Amino acid sequence: MFEQCLFFNTTSLARQVERRWTQAFKPFGLTPSQAFMLRVVLDKAPLLAREISEELNISRPTATRGLDHLERMGYIKRVISDKDAREQEIHPTASALEIKADLNTASGEVTKRMKKLLGTNEFESVVTQMRSITSALK
């Protein structure tokens, strides 16, 4: 019935993919969204909330809620920006730095399993196509 429906098929795929990443990040007490947000902070800090929302293609309020949770867990800290006192930079804490390698390994293992299931070329092709569609719809 919905074979050609972009909405149905992308949300169906998203649910299946999310289950796999949920299991991968469970040992860290993080949802996939929180874990990917933390990975952005770990790789690109210092960042502003606006920059994180742009990187993850989410709204600023959604980014703020995610950052609030990461801050409560002790993984990020907010620091007044030297460039603009109205803005806060997001920095990883020592606790976040301690789990960085394990977080990346957990994510990499899911990617490896997905590539094994789909084949590397198919996996990479699908990701490339999805990124292209996302860009076109912006």
Give the pLDDT confidence of 99-118 residue by residue, as tens digits: 999 999 999 999 999 999 99
Residues 6+ positions from 57 with CB-CB distance below 8 Å:
134
Q: Which amino acid type is present at position 121?
A: N
pLDDT attached to residue 117: 94
pLDDT attached to residue 87: 86
Domain boundaries, the chain: 6-137
d(CA 24, CA 95): 18
* pLDDT less than 50: residues of the chain: none
d(CA 54, CA 62): 11
pLDDT attached to residue 28: 96
At the topology level of CATH, where does 6-137 sit? Arc Repressor Mutant, subunit A (1.10.10)
Would you state the structure tokens that stand for residue 66, as one six-digit string? 């995610």
Q: Find the helix or strand (DSSP H, E) in which 71 lies.
A: helix 60-72
